[in-house]
Each structure stands twice: as structure tokens, then as C-alpha cells.
Amino acid sequence: MSPFLLTRTLPVDATEAALRADVLAGLSRRPKTLPPKWFYDARGSELFEEITRLPEYYPTRAEREILVARAADIAEASGARTLIELGSGSSEKTRHLLDALDRLHSYVPVDVSESALTGAAEALLAERPELNVHALIADFTGGLALPGTPGPRLVAFLGGTIGNLLPEERATFLHSVRSILSPGDALLLGTDLVKEPETLVAAYDDAAGVTAAFNKNVLEVVNRELDADFDPAAFDHVARWDADAEWIEMRLRARSVLTVKIHELDLVVSFEEGEELRTEVSAKFRRERVRDELGAAGLRLDQWWTDSADRFAVSLATAV
């Protein structure tokens, strides 16, 4: 069996420090905000897996349809010998690519969760003992230092996660990706597409209330990690389409005037009745915007694939 290497580029206490900084900054401003990455503790990850199976939530199914149909095309176009997956989690999304990439030498999953990386690597190596797996415990939004693996390299950033970044953050991220690529290397990007607002809002405000529980879970994370006293029941889940920005916003709206104490930060946060805390932005894209943002970072859009209902796109861009 090929060796499994695990490298930590993220300090052990980095997650705690980042949470403290994000909560202090986000809850001290108006409007109040929290980054969506704090949804994903163990409970949040379970809830998100449940969301992906809901009838209203199409992105996961649509992206999987594309990857199943186009994996061979992606393999041929990229010629990849190294696959780097950002935010890999269980590595489930890339199984179809791993099957199709017949020249693949190395797989580099990147995630902040050591347990997710280890579990995914063990499962992959049981199926593909010849594969070299070099996992990185890292925050890909903060820049990457990759191991020396053979090219061409294919960086995969799937799930529409790029939509959670604000425009200036996307620009920084795409330039960061380009900086680790050599000419001829490529980026495989999953993007949710602009469509009728009714479909978009339903995907983030399902009838069963699973997304509402997922949204409120960020309060439970702050309660547990920072000794806060948020009452999730005191907030309503809100999903709203912003037609000008072309993104969905998820918010938590205070049902009444209330005060929250965050003891670890020595912080007292007041909410007015109806005041909203933004917890996620999920941008939706048009092909032209994807092309232009990639181009500005030095990446040329070469391939564009959509699912059968034109709801979601997977694109392949080459470093130039």
C-alpha cells in the first residue's frame, strides 16, 4: 500500500483563535455577521448531509450528475497526475474523478479537520492501495504550500463553496490558487447558477426545517466554544434572494429585544426586535462572471458543463 502522509500547516490552536476573532468582529458591528464556516461542527456536518438529500436542495445532485457524466472528459482535458481537493471532507465528491484519472499519481486532500482527512484517506487507500495520498490540515482561504507532486496538477473546488466568499474574497482566493499552479495546470470549479428566486429560496428554506436547524447551529457552536448564552429559539431562520448582488443570504432574526453574553470574550451583544444576524452569503453565477473572475486571476475558462436542467455548472480553467 502506498504511504499516507499527513501534514499540518494550520496551528493546533488556529481554529479557536479564528472563532474568537470572527465572533468578536462580527458581533461588534452593524449589521452583525458570522462566517458560514462555523456551521460545521459534528452536528452541523450531520445536518448539512441531511440537507443534501432534501428534495428542495438540488446543488449536490446536480453537481454529481455532471461529475458522473463528465469525469472522463475532465481526465482527458486535464491529464492530471496530481489531484488537489480543497475542502475535501469525506472526499465523496471526487470519487468519480479518482476513477477516471487513469494517470493519477497523487491525491492531496485539504481540509481543516484531521479526523475527516484521516477517515477519507483510510477508505480511499483500502480501495486504491497504489494511490499516494498526502493530506494537508490547512485553511485553503489563507494560502497554500503544497507538497512536491508531479504535474499536471488539477485543483478541485466543488460544491459551489466559492459562492460563500464575497467578491473581494473570491478574487483573493482565485489569485492564491493561480499562484500554486504552473502553466498547463488547471482548476475544476463548481458553481451554482442564477435561476428563478423561488427555486433558490426553497433550497435554503426547506419545508422540513432542516436548514433552519443548520443555521441556528452556529449559535450552539458559539455557546459551547465561547461560553455564550444564545437561545436559538429566540431567533427565526431567514433566507432571502438579493437580486442586485445575485446571492442568497441566510440570516437569523431576533424575535424580541434580547441580550447575549459571550463570557470567553467578555462581550455583551444586544439585539433589537427584528434585528438580523447574517450567517451566510451564497452567490449564484452566470458563465460570463465565472469567465471574467477566472481571467482576472490568470486562469482561462476552457470547459463549461452543466447538469441536464442547467441549474449548476462545473468548469475547467487552465493556468496561463
Domains, the chain, in order of start with CATH, read 1-227+285-320 (3.40.50.150)
Over 80: is that where the pLDDT of 13 sits?
Answer: no
Ranges 29-38, 133-142, 209-218, 263-272: which has the least confidence: 133-142
Helix 42-51 with 210-226: angle, nearest 10 deg: 170
The confidence band for 114, taking pLDDT boundaries of 50, 70 and 90, is: confident
**Mean pLDDT, the chain, as a whole number?**
92
Strand-pair category, 186-192 with 312-319? antiparallel
Task: Check residue 3 and give its pLDDT.
Answer: 65
Cβ partners under 8 Å of residue 245, min gap 6: 281, 283
Over 60: is that where the pLDDT of 1 sits?
Answer: no
Say how far apart CA 96 and CA 137 lie, in whole Å.
23
Mean pLDDT throughout 163-175? 95
Strand order across the beta sheet in which 153-157 lies: 4-8, 132-137, 106-111, 82-86, 153-157, 186-192, 312-319, 299-306
Over 80: is that where the pLDDT of 88 sits?
Answer: no
Joined together, the cell numbers standing for residue 254 give 431576533
Over 70: is that where the pLDDT of 152 sits?
Answer: yes
Task: Check residue 126 and give its pLDDT.
Answer: 82
What are the E-state strand segments in the chain? Answer: 4-8, 32-33, 82-86, 106-111, 132-137, 153-157, 186-192, 235-242, 247-254, 258-262, 267-271, 276-283, 299-306, 312-319
Task: Check residue 2 and give its pLDDT.
Answer: 58
Task: Check residue 318 and give its pLDDT.
Answer: 98
Over 90: is that where the pLDDT of 40 sits?
Answer: no
Ranges 4-8, 40-44, 57-61: which has the least confidence: 4-8
Task: Check residue 118 and give its pLDDT.
Answer: 82
Strand-pair category, 106-111 with 132-137? parallel
Mean pLDDT throughout 260-285? 98
Over 70: is that where the pLDDT of 90 sits?
Answer: no
Say how far apart CA 137 and CA 12 lie, in whole Å.
10
Say how far apart CA 207 and CA 56 lie, in whole Å.
8
Phi, psi of 289 (to 5 degrees): -65, -45
